[in-house]
Amino acid sequence: MNWVYINTTKLYRWLLPRLIRQPKAKAFVDSFMISFDNLYAKFFKNRIANLYFIEINGQVVKLEKMLNDKYDFVQRRIYLSDGIYTHLEYLYTNAEDRVIYIYDTTPTYLYQTSEQGYGQTSFVINILDAINFNEAELRGLVDTYKLVSKQYSINIIT
């Protein structure tokens, strides 16, 4: 049994004393309870929004679901992809006796430790240009749910 779902009409009738359960008394009580019904409807709508807010987190699948629910509900053409990952090559000293060739047949690029990993973006939000969206609103939604350490970029596909 779920305590949130209340049939308010039955509740008012049950709480009305048995001796005064005539049509005029019921109409009188119903007129006062309209404001409670409105308040209950707002509560229920807020509850559904909060449950949706709790359901979404920083996972890729959940972020895609949230963006597609907001901007492309029918065709769901918004998807997330990984950012560009750069692998760090290590240079060894002669004492470590490990050989790495800087240029064999293809060049090996050397990066600083600050450039290692995903660099500027951890993930990319890919959106078709046919989808109408406000970039500031989209960034606000994604910033609400993404992890703080993750950076992202928006790629508009033509």
CA separation for the pair 89, 76 (Å, rounded) = 39
Predicted confidence (pLDDT) per residue in 128-143, tens digit = 999 999 999 999 999 9
Burial 50-61 (b: 16+ CB within 10 A, else e): eeeeeebeeeee
- The yes-or-no verdict on residue 41 having pLDDT over 70 is yes
Domain boundaries, the chain: 8-55, 60-157
- Contact between 73 and 66 under an 8 Å Cβ cutoff? The reply is no
- Contact between 121 and 153 under an 8 Å Cβ cutoff? The reply is yes
Predicted confidence (pLDDT) per residue in 8-35, tens digit = 888 888 989 999 999 999 899 889 899 9
CA separation for the pair 22, 57 (Å, rounded) = 52
